[in-house]
Chain A
Amino acid sequence: MFDEKDLILEARHVTRRFPSAGGRELVACNDVNLKMYKGKTLGLVGESGCGKSTFMRFLVWLDRPSEGEIWYRGKDITKIKGKELWQMRQHVQMVFQDPSTSFNPKMKIRDIVCEPLLNFGRIKPSEKNAKARELLELVELPGDFADRYPHNMSGGQRQRVAIARALALEPEIIVMDEATSALDVSVQETIIELITKLQREKQITIGFICHNLGLIQSFGHQIAVMYLGNIVEVMPGEGMADICCHPYSKALLDAVFDTKMDFSKKIEPIKGEPPSPLDVPAGCPFADRCPHCMEVCRETRPILRELEPGHEVACHLFEGRGTA
């Protein structure tokens, strides 16, 4: 469903282990394979602690995987360093969840949005004013905001500034870590409209971390569901509610409350909480909470199989229905 020639980033067998007390190991990402396409949004969904942020941090070099490769622009970006890494950083930018903590409170907005440009010598200090105005107008803020400090702005405005800063270097990929979770729904809507508009205009690839399935299905092109470090399902965003078939994705969907739902529906939340990532069950990681758990689920871990093009699922229920 996606054109392979638009493939711009591919993660292959990415695993991240953190050493833990008592010589144990915490596996935050286990054999993650994901692809990102030009101008498309990859949504990564899951509960807290499932490893979704850990994975996205590899893309912006805030961390490196223990094993596996991430191919981008013909290089394995997990191995690069020094000058090459510095140059590469221009192409991947990030927007954090809470802009009030990711901005320096003592810097003016002008300096915040222009810092990456000055860093790479793309503009001269004398051009700062004009460039800051241009960037702010790009995210639909008044140019005069350049003179403000972060604390003079509302949460939604700050998030727009964060997007402006990420756009400054005209990156190919932007990683957004829960970029709208701290905002009110009405503000969230306008930010999503802005992001999708900019994506269309500039053909930016977005990696969006989110725990709200209702939100991510409204603008994600492909959606990956993660549970305890494992990708359990990858599916297209359009019509996701009908396509999704992994019991965990279904449970996540059932847990979404929205104003158009059937209010007489009884909530049937999945039992318990995810086990500690320190002792992930031997078989399927979801086995203990799964309503369809079978013998085989406790023994062997299911692998991702393709059910249809663009739809992969890791579950024994669908064994034999697709190709591994």
Chain B
Amino acid sequence: MALLEIKNVDISYGKRVTVKDCNLTLEKGEICSIVGESGSGKTTVIRAVLGLLAGGGKVTAGDIIYEGRSLLKLSDREWRALRGHDISMIFQDSGAMMNQTRLIGNSYVEYIRTHENISKKEAWAKGAEMLGRMRLPDPDRIMRSYPFQLSGGQRQRVGIAMGMTYQPRLLLADEPTSALDVTTQAQIVRQMMELRDEYGTSIIIVTHDLGVASYMADKLVVMKNGVIEDQGSREHILNETDNAYTKKLMDAVPSLGGKRYV
């Protein structure tokens, strides 16, 4: 059985249908990249999976099945147990999702204690241990820092550490490396790949960086104007597809030793 199945889903904000007839299947341990230009609806799709559509967005048709049960019919209580435990999300700037006036440690402890009945001290230790595993130097100092005291790469790693605390089966990543330098991006990409290898986490990554998307993905999904234009294995999308839009998009990626304009 597939881990996640998105079946014929339409998503609307008010009367406007932004995503039409979206179909996607994700197996356990699979990495899927959703690519497309800004405004193509890629973020909307993964937000729908986590039931976090912004501004009154709704799934108006179809169904989202996670491990055999529909995510659309969950109660608030069931959602709370699932989010951050079975399904986690990493945002573009993890610093922005945290409260700027609270220590990272305090936010982390609150998060852990939402899901687990342990003392603050134990939760703090658990948080620090996770940060260490994400290769953050000096985890205790990070726990005692405010988000604005860390660099973008460090904040992003804190976000990943938080998301991975309960070894979720599904990790949703929304442009996790777009705000980072190339060298930091490479570190984060490697870290996410290791998550899959170590814990068997399935990942859906949304990005407009086609290079990162193709490097990570087993499966690539190309979106345009709210519709899935093309999807398939990496091999298929990069080399075999007949879809004109996909080809045009892939050709636009600057590559080393590739075409020169001057």
Interface residues of A (CB under 8 A from B): 41, 47-48, 155, 184-189, 192-193, 196, 199-200, 211-215, 217-219, 221, 237-239, 241-242, 251-261, 263, 267, 269-270, 272-273
The answer on a CB contact under 8 Å between A263 and B214 is yes
Given the known interface contacts A184-B38, A212-B254, A214-B258, the answer about A256 and B182 at a Cβ–Cβ threshold of 8 Å is yes
The answer on a CB contact under 8 Å between B183 and A251 is yes
Q: List 20 A-B contacts (CB under 8 A).
A: A41-B262, A48-B152, A48-B181, A184-B208, A186-B37, A189-B254, A211-B181, A214-B258, A219-B260, A252-B182, A254-B186, A257-B211, A257-B214, A258-B210, A258-B254, A259-B214, A259-B253, A263-B214, A267-B189, A269-B187
Q: Which of B187-215 contact A (CB under 8 A)?
A: 187, 189-190, 193, 208-212, 214-215
Does B153 touch A at the CB level, under 8 Å? yes
Does B257 touch A at the CB level, under 8 Å? yes
Bound CA span A202–B174, Å: 41
Contact partners of A187 in chain B: CB under 8 A: 37
The answer on a CB contact under 8 Å between A214 and B255 is yes
Does B97 touch A at the CB level, under 8 Å? no
The answer on a CB contact under 8 Å between A193 and B261 is yes
Bound CA span A239–B262, Å: 12
Contact partners of A211 in chain B: CB under 8 A: 181-182
Contact partners of A218 in chain B: CB under 8 A: 254, 258-261
The answer on a CB contact under 8 Å between B248 and A186 is yes
Q: A214-B211, A214-B253 are in contact. List 13 more A-B contacts (CB 8 A).
A: A41-B262, A186-B252, A187-B37, A188-B252, A189-B254, A214-B254, A217-B260, A218-B259, A258-B254, A259-B211, A259-B253, A261-B256, A272-B137
Which A-chain residue is minimally distant from B214 (CB atoms)?
A259
The answer on a CB contact under 8 Å between B182 and A259 is no
Most buried by A among B153, B257, B259, B261: B261
Which B-chain residue is minimally distant from A216 (CB atoms)?
B254
Per-position contact with A for B235-262: 1 when CB-CB < 8 Å, else 0?
A: 0001000000000111111111111111
Contact partners of A193 in chain B: CB under 8 A: 261
Bound CA span A41–B262, Å: 9
The answer on a CB contact under 8 Å between B261 and A256 is no
The listed residue (B214, B252, B262) touching A196 by CB distance below 8 A is B262
Does B184 touch A at the CB level, under 8 Å? yes
The answer on a CB contact under 8 Å between B256 and A47 is no
The answer on a CB contact under 8 Å between B256 and A214 is yes
Does B12 touch A at the CB level, under 8 Å? no
Bound CA span A238–B262, Å: 9
The answer on a CB contact under 8 Å between A258 and B211 is yes
Does B23 touch A at the CB level, under 8 Å? no
Bound CA span A5–B248, Å: 41
Instruction: Tell me the smallest distance from the CB of A248 to a CB of chain B, in Å.
Output: 9
The answer on a CB contact under 8 Å between B252 and A257 is no
Given the known interface contacts A186-B249, A263-B214, the answer about A255 and B186 at a Cβ–Cβ threshold of 8 Å is yes
Bound CA span A149–B247, Å: 33
Which B-chain residue is minimally distant from A289 (CB atoms)?
B183
The listed residue (B181, B186, B255) touching A258 by CB distance below 8 A is B255
Bound CA span A259–B38, Å: 19
Instruction: Tell me the smallest distance from the CB of B200 to a CB of chain A, in Å.
Output: 20
The listed residue (A41, A212, A217, A237) touching B182 by CB distance below 8 A is A212
Bound CA span A218–B259, Å: 6
The answer on a CB contact under 8 Å between A258 and B182 is no
The answer on a CB contact under 8 Å between A185 and B182 is no
Bound CA span A250–B208, Å: 24
The listed residue (B215, B249, B255, B262) touching A219 by CB distance below 8 A is B262
Contact partners of B152 in chain A: CB under 8 A: 48
Given the known interface contacts A186-B248, A255-B182, the answer about A219 and B261 at a Cβ–Cβ threshold of 8 Å is yes
Most buried by B among A186, A217, A257: A257
Contact partners of A257 in chain B: CB under 8 A: 185-186, 189, 209, 211-212, 214-215
Instruction: Tell me the smallest distance from the CB of B32 to a CB of chain A, in Å.
Output: 15
Instruction: Tell me the smallest distance from the CB of A319 to a CB of chain B, in Å.
Output: 25
The answer on a CB contact under 8 Å between A256 and B262 is no
Which A-chain residue is minimally distant from B245 (CB atoms)?
A186
The answer on a CB contact under 8 Å between A185 and B257 is no
4 closest A-B pairs (Cβ-Cβ)? A257-B211, A269-B186, A258-B255, A255-B186
Bound CA span A38–B103, Å: 52
Does B234 touch A at the CB level, under 8 Å? yes
Bound CA span A188–B187, Å: 25
Does B151 touch A at the CB level, under 8 Å? yes
The answer on a CB contact under 8 Å between B262 and A273 is no
